Chain A
Amino acid sequence: MARIISFSKALNEAMTQEMERDENVFILGEDVAKMGGDFGITTGIWERWPNRAFDTALSESAITGLCCGASVCGLRPVAELMFADFITVCYDQLVNNAAKLNYMYQGEASAQMVVRAVTGGGIRCAYHHSQCIEPWLMNIPGLVIVAPATPYEAKGLLVASIRNNNPVVFLEHKHLYNVKGEVPEELYEIPLYEAHVEREGTDITIVAAMSMLKFAQKAADEMAAKGISVEIINPRTIFPLDKETIKESVAKTGRLIVVQEGPKVMGYGAEIGAMLGEELFEYLKAPIKRVTSLDTPVPFAPGMEDYVLPHYEDVITACNEVMAY
């Protein structure tokens, strides 16, 4: 029987084991050392390596700037952004520095850094602590955006991100931290840039990342009971996107639904929809559907927030619509 641990523990293990293996890896961020991080993800690392875990001032620009500089010297920094929303404060360092270093140095050095960013809504913390930020970074060639959905992926993708020589923004959805699943004890990598077919099917393709994967799985079960076969694709890396896996799937099913937690405008749903319109037009049997948040900031009051975030029933409605078309 494989070992069952939480998503949080899987992340912690990825960092710990990579630090054991490679002394160039270190962690830094606000409250990540002595306290083990605001969400407890780096617990125990400072106790083991007091010289490789650093509590910083509230200085996200300095944190990411330091990562850029340290990584061109060959170190492998892993920084934590307590909330992904704060990425705006270090946006310049990510967009105009990290993402361009390999290009600028023509491959001689690069920003081999990971910024772990705590993302997503549903915790009643209003518009500055709930956003899905991947669209803000998706048109920055040079950056990699990784988005695990399970504990197994949390560990394998974080290990791969630490070893990758590009700047990786590693999205950790708050609602997944306590999710438990099978995670091997030994070190392993899940390759970046590869989507995963979570379940095979023939009628509808659902693409869903992070916390939205559970909606897709539930919908697939519900549709299966009605004789409709759903294929689920979890992108794992949101940018650059594994177009081939998605295209192969939609070429087979002819129907696509993208479930995305953030607002509808310009998310990965928009990119996948445009890509299929361009490259797979003749295979489509029905319009592409997106199930997303409304195009508003995330409000505080629970009823309002629930109204704005994606609804599971909308996934079912979308399935029925694409089948009926």
Chain B
Amino acid sequence: MALSKEHLLKVYEDMLLIRRFEEEVEVYAKNGTIPGFIHLSIGQEAAQAGVVDVLKDTDYKFPDHRGHGAIVLSSKPEERKRCMSEIFAKATGINGGRGGSMHVHDLSVRNMGFNGIQGSTVVTALGTAFNSVYRKNDDVTVVFMGDGTLGEGTCHESLNMSATWKLPLVYVLINNQYAISTHYTEAHPQKQLSTWGLGYEVPSMTIDGNDIEEVIEVTQQAVDRARRGEGPTLIEMMSYRWQGHFSGDPAAYRPDGELEAWKEKDPLKLAKEKLQEKHGVSDAEIQAISDRVEVEIAEYVKFSLESPVPKPEDAVKYVYTDREVEGR
């Protein structure tokens, strides 16, 4: 399905925003401003932007550990800088600095956040999907997961239960080839991981996760099916992470030339070519998008750098709902 020019322009801008977001995060992770470790999703923009584009604010979203893009795009534009300041461990962060890169959630748009234990959200998502059935509404749940995460037993349990109960759940399996150093073909016997759904009679397909039009089309079908109460879908989106597993991983396990070959399939490059060749979008229009994104990102970075750090004493808040834990 070809997108309209306006639609393609919109998602191109979304993708550029999250690409630039990640590039800035990388700069500040490398220079030590951002503590801890960071999993960057550069190269996987189409899978994130395309899926979020299809969803409503009331749909439940479970990004994964490589999910900054889905997180940012799920948030309202005015809240996006707080996604970045969370990663910077700042008090203005969307979770007050408690969580950081792996734990950015925003309940106002039903971004339910990630759990540092791989495979955990895959079963949590059963609960939000169940809620839609129980309350008879049409909210859909989307859970992002990686090729490696599929190894967790919870993935089987989740597919089995969602299929049996026809839960409105879409599994977005971003196959970026690797789980840390382990290629997916060394951890699973199948050539395509979408076959995992078939044993549970879950409609499953493998698509080009770098082609935003294909991502949107297939996700839309899966979401529509879920909204109609027909049950879950598993979409394997083939993609590639350009960086190592975490920022700073030299990724020595990749064969020579692999990254360069995937860079040829850059989702942004593909979308830009379509815009220019099929829709006659001018260089000036493309430049205007870049300029807007730069202004936006510069604001996030400035906000993140200037925000205060959280009060250490606040660490004892929110351990229980109805009482505080003793501080120092």
Most chain B CB within a 10 A radius of its CB, from A30, A123, A301: A301
Give the distance to chain A from B148, nearest Cβ to Cβ, in Å.
5
Are A85 and B116 closer than 8 Å at their CB atoms?
yes
Q: How far is the CA of A89 from the CA of B116 in the complex (A)?
A: 12
Q: A31-B181, A299-B97 are in contact. Are A124 and B153 (CB under 8 A)?
A: no
Whether, in the assembled complex, A316 has its beta carbon less than 8 Å from a beta carbon of chain B, the answer is no
Are B153 and A62 closer than 8 Å at their CB atoms?
yes
Interface string of A274-300 (1 = CB under 8 A from B): 000000000000000000001111011
Whether, in the assembled complex, A225 has its beta carbon less than 8 Å from a beta carbon of chain B, the answer is no
Query: Hey, which chain A residues are within 8 Å of B160, CB to CB?
Result: none
Are B253 and A304 closer than 8 Å at their CB atoms?
no
- Tell me the nearest residue of chain A to B118, going by C-beta: A58
Are B319 and A307 closer than 8 Å at their CB atoms?
no
Are A302 and B35 closer than 8 Å at their CB atoms?
yes
Give the distance to chain B from A92, nearest Cβ to Cβ, in Å.
10
Q: A57-B187, A61-B153, A128-B102 are in contact. Are A38 and B312 (CB under 8 A)?
A: no
Are B89 and A31 closer than 8 Å at their CB atoms?
no
> What size tier do the contact residues of chain A reach?
35 or more
Whether, in the assembled complex, A308 has its beta carbon less than 8 Å from a beta carbon of chain B, the answer is yes
Whether, in the assembled complex, A190 has its beta carbon less than 8 Å from a beta carbon of chain B, the answer is no
Whether, in the assembled complex, B328 has its beta carbon less than 8 Å from a beta carbon of chain A, the answer is yes
Q: A58-B148, A301-B310, A304-B310 are in contact. Are A296 and B180 (CB under 8 A)?
A: no
Interface string of A115-150 (1 = CB under 8 A from B): 000000001111111000000000000000000000
Query: Hey, which chain A residues are within 8 Å of B150, CB to CB?
Result: 57-58
Query: Hey, which chain A residues are within 8 Å of B325, CB to CB?
Result: 294-296
Contact of A300 among B35, B117, B188, B313 (CB under 8 A): B35
Whether, in the assembled complex, B290 has its beta carbon less than 8 Å from a beta carbon of chain A, the answer is no
- Tell me the nearest residue of chain A to B309, going by C-beta: A303
Contacting residues of chain A (30-52) with chain B, CB-CB under 8 angstroms = 30-31, 34-35, 38
- Tell me the nearest residue of chain B to A82, going by C-beta: B180
Interface string of A51-64 (1 = CB under 8 A from B): 00001111111100
Contact of B99 among A30, A56, A300 (CB under 8 A): A300
Q: How far is the CA of A300 from the CA of B95 in the complex (A)?
A: 10
**What are 9 A-to-B residue pairs whose CB atoms are below 8 Å?**
A56-B187, A57-B187, A89-B152, A123-B36, A127-B99, A129-B102, A294-B328, A303-B310, A304-B97
Point out residues on B near A: beta carbons under 8 Å: 35-37, 89-91, 97-100, 102-103, 115-119, 148-153, 179-182, 186-188, 252-253, 309-316, 319, 325-328
